[in-house]
A and B are shown apart, each in its own frame.
Chain A
Amino acid sequence: MKKGVRLHSRVTPYMLVLPAIALLFIFKVYPIITSIWGSLYTRKGTEYLFVGLKNYKTLFDSAAFWRSLKTTGVFNLWVVPTQLLLALVLALMLCNNPRGGIVFRSVFFINIGISLATASTIWGLMMDASNGIINSMLTAFGIAQQPFLTHKSQAMACLIVICCWKGFSYWMLIMMSSLQSIPKSIYEAAKIDGSSGLHTIWNISLPLIRPTLTFCLVSCTSINLMVFTPMYALTNGGPSRSTNVLMLNAYVTLFQNSDRGSAYAMITMLMVVCFLIVSIQMRGMNKK
Chain B
Amino acid sequence: MLQRKSKTVLGKTAMYMFLTVVLVFSLAPVLWALTCSLRENSEIMKYIMPLQYHTFVPDALTLEPYINIFTIRNFGQAVVRTIEICATTIIAGLFINSLAGYSLSKLQFRGKGFLFMFVVFTIMIPGEGITMPMYGIVHDMGLTNTIWALLLPAFANSIIIFMFKQSFDEIPDELLESAWMDGCTVMGVYRHIILPLSVPSMIFAGLTLFTGQWEAFLWPLLVGREDSLNMVQVALTQFQTEHYTLWNELYGACVITALVPLLLLVPFQNFFIQGIAHTGIKG
Residues of chain A whose beta carbon lies under 8 Å from any beta carbon of chain B: 1-3, 6-8, 10, 12-14, 16-17, 19-21, 23-24, 26-32, 34-35, 38, 86, 89-90, 93-94, 98, 100, 104, 106-126, 131-133, 135-137, 139-140, 165, 169-170, 173-174, 176-178, 181, 211-212, 215-216, 222-223, 225-229, 232-233, 247, 250-251, 254-255, 260, 263-264, 267, 270-271, 274, 278
Contacts and interface: CB of A to CB of B under 8 A. Distances in A.
A110 B155 contact: no
15 contacts: A8-B180, A13-B109, A21-B115, A21-B156, A29-B122, A31-B131, A35-B133, A90-B22, A93-B19, A165-B25, A212-B281, A226-B129, A233-B240, A255-B222, A260-B136
A1 B109 contact: no
A94 B15 CA distance: 10
Given A20-B99, A93-B18, A117-B233, A264 B133 contact: yes
Nearest to A35: B133
B128 interface: yes
Given A12-B107, A178-B280, A274-B126, A114 B218 contact: no
Interface of B: 12, 15-16, 18-19, 22-23, 25-27, 29-30, 32-33, 45, 48-51, 55, 96-97, 99-100, 102-104, 106-109, 112, 115, 118-119, 122, 124-137, 152-153, 155-156, 158, 161, 173, 176-177, 180-181, 185-186, 211, 214-215, 217-218, 221-222, 233-234, 236-237, 240, 247, 250-251, 253-254, 257-258, 261-262, 265-266, 269, 273-274, 276-277, 280-281, 283
B19 A104 contact: yes
Contact of A13 (B107, B153, B211, B276): B107
Contacts of A93: 15, 18-19
A6 B108 contact: yes
Contacts, number: 277
Contact of A3 (B97, B108, B221): B108
Nearest to A164: B25
B250 A267 contact: no
A169 B251 CA distance: 22
B257 A118 contact: yes
Contacts of B132: 35, 250-251, 254, 263-264, 267
B100 A136 contact: no
**Interface hub of A23, A24, A27, A267 (most chain B Cβ within 10 A):** A24
Contact of A20 (B12, B156, B234, B269): B156
Given A29-B125, A140-B51, A174-B276, A8 B186 contact: yes
Contacts of A215: 280-281, 283
A110 B262 contact: yes
**Interface hub of B12, B156, B240 (most chain A Cβ within 10 A):** B156
Contact of A115 (B23, B217, B281): B217
B50 A28 contact: no
Interface of B, secondary structure class, is helix
B177 A274 contact: no
A274 B265 CA distance: 30
Contacts of B127: 226
B258 A113 contact: yes
A116 B217 contact: yes
A38 B126 contact: no
B177 to A, nearest CB: 6
**Interface hub of A106, A109, A125 (most chain B Cβ within 10 A):** A125
Given A13-B108, A23-B96, A32-B133, A109 B258 contact: no
Given A109-B265, A165-B29, 4 more contacts: A27-B134, A31-B137, A108-B22, A108-B23
Nearest to B257: A118
Contacts of B45: 131
A121 B281 CA distance: 33
Contacts of B257: 114-115, 117-118
A106 B265 CA distance: 11
Given A118-B258, A178-B280, A271-B126, A112 B100 contact: no
B11 to A, nearest CB: 8
Contacts of B280: 174, 177-178, 212, 215-216
A110 to B, nearest CB: 6
A16 B254 contact: no
Q: 8 tightest A-B contacts by CB?
A: A177-B277, A23-B156, A20-B100, A115-B215, A226-B128, A140-B51, A31-B130, A16-B103
A169 B218 CA distance: 22
A112 to B, nearest CB: 7
Given A31-B134, A93-B15, A98-B15, A17 B237 contact: no
**Interface hub of B130, B152, B185 (most chain A Cβ within 10 A):** B130
Contacts of A274: 126, 129
Contacts of B16: 100
B111 to A, nearest CB: 8
